[in-house]
Chain A
Amino acid sequence: MSTPQQTEPAAAQSAAEDAIDLRREYEESGVAAILDELDRDLIGLKPVKKRIREIAALLLVERARKQLGLAHETLTLHMSFTGNPGTGKTTVALRMADLLHRLGYVRRGQLVTVTRDDLVGQYIGHTAPKTKEVLKKAIGGVLFIDEAYYLYRPENERDYGQEAIEILLQVMENQREDLVVILAGYADRMERFFTSNPGFRSRIAHHVEFPDYADPELVGIAEQMLERQNYRLSESGREALTRYIGRRRQQPHFANGRSIRNALDRSRMRQANRLFERGGTLSSEELSTIEAEDILASRVFTMQVAGSEDET
């Protein structure tokens, strides 16, 4: 794509104009649609959205430079997503794969999600073929490594994770035009992982941090989830959920969006149970409303004492 002869039609045309309308590119490539969707569908995550807009702008400008023959190097696009569980890392990775595909930075745009188990083997000579097979599946798309720090286990010097790391690093360097690697995990552990594997840090261009959700954002997320399943919260139910979130946050293993989804699944079960025990005829209104009592029955409200003991 670098020499003028090879890029005849596009380059000749744009060379004649010697200008590219970024705004039009932005609309026509479908990037605008993806970013708008991101804004609409994902509640909160302000810094993440901002960062993705910045990355999208960079990609768009780089593509324009390429069309005018100004850029020759392949951009390094590997990323790390850090944040607590349930903050939307996988969801954003999916959108990112779509974004990269529409801008032509990856050829197919599939997202291959893996963890340590998919990359690291159980005996000598098992790791390399396993890692290479995963990489083959990810070529042309995005490889999303969840909880990437488990690859490196310093406490076991015979651990095969190191082998997977070496293959990954090599591919991240030499096949930048073939696939994009996204590492994801908790912020503090990722930090330690990068410290002990400096090769990764230098090969990753974009570090995106996912903040925890605030309580009102979680309520918004809950309402969005329910709406998708044709449920809604009653006024008192909404208030109960706000209280629930406040308490749930104090307890161990709080996983943001995921905890909310699980809580809603349980409250749907309680609602079904309540309706079933009452019997009689039901309106569609009743069938789709989650009441305060469905949420207040949660053990979070009764276990409060035990929970606070755990905390101290």
Chain B
Amino acid sequence: MIPSDTHTVPGFEDEPVFEEPWQAQAFAMVVALHQNGAFTWDEWAATLSAEIHGPTKRPYYDHWLAALENIVEQKRLTSASDLRKRKVAWHDAAARTPHGQPIRLG
């Protein structure tokens, strides 16, 4: 098969970079926090590496998200209990939002 344009050249478009929107959000939050000086890239790499090499094998972005939760707690940007409470609040918000409408915290 002859590619008709550069978008079909092998190696450029064989898969999406993010499988789900939350992965893109989690990725970008780390870049944003680093840009804002919340942690160094070395600190991030070490946190992510510890998570990836931990006892639980998970998909890459699951590790990424867990590492993000760890580093924001280590850096005291927020606490694990605040994150837990806020997660429950989002579940509650979803449960009272009619399907198809944007979910907002009360």
Whether A and B are associated in the same complex: the answer reads no
